[in-house]
Amino acid sequence: MMMLIAGHETTAAVLTWAVFLLAQHPVKMKKAQSEIDAVLGQGRTTFESLKKLEYLRLIVVESLHLYPQPPLLIRRSLTSDILPGGYNGDKNGYEIPAGTDVFLSVYNLHRSPYFWDKPNEFEPEPSRSRGALYPNEIISDFAFLPFGGGPRKCVGDQFALMESTIALAMLLQKFDVELKGSPEDVELVTGATIHTKTGLWCKLKKRSNI
């Protein structure tokens, strides 16, 4: 039930924004399709071939980087503690009494220039993923938190990444994607996930090699 209920909306949102980003960057879409053609041809994705879809995985990571699902994390302090002040905060830190709810904006964290070069740009490059198959909170020193971190981290993170990569590969293997209208027409709405207000209207064109 966890996979069916908690997993479907988040993964759908990841794929929505991945398509949105690719439709604005046709050169990067073609690069992804060239990789898919070389690795898969007209065949299906396997666990072994998934490892070779390196650029496609970076695209999924970038979708999570720019549009994290969820955009906000909430944690409750079990004991009293002091959080460090950070770059521009109080040098003495911040006292957190036991029982305090702490809200963390993953969206702002992922777009912070303190941690990322070109934080608001679509950059599916190895430097962004810190050289990992899929980056995680440890590799990024907790600057990348689409699935949270620690013992309460999302239990389905690897499944979600694999599922998203396979679904995107199947789409780009067969179709070119164009936005209907301009990117400015796509209105962002935040809630449990970051999603579009009225969907993502696209034109699918069957690729000539199919």
- Chain-centre distance for alpha carbon 200: 17
Q: Please tell me the distance from the alpha carbon of residue 4 to that of residue 8, in angstroms, as a whole number.
A: 6
Residue 143 CB coordination number (10 Å): 17
Give the CA angle between residues 45, 51, 57 to the nearest 5°.
85
User: Whose structure tokens read 């199947």?
Assistant: 170
Active site residue 154: yes
Given the residues 11, 16, 144, 154, select the one marked as catalytic.
154
Q: Please tell me the distance from the alpha carbon of residue 42 to that of residue 170, in angstroms, as a whole number.
A: 10
Q: Is 202 annotated as a binding residue?
A: no
Active site residue 46: no
Nearest to 60 by CA among 153, 156, 163: 163
Given the residues 16, 144, 147, 193, select the one marked as catalytic.
147
Q: Please tell me the distance from the alpha carbon of residue 57 to that of residue 136, in angstroms, as a whole number.
A: 13
Active site residue 10: yes
Binding site for heme: what residues are annotated? 154
Q: Which residues are catalytic?
A: 10, 147, 154
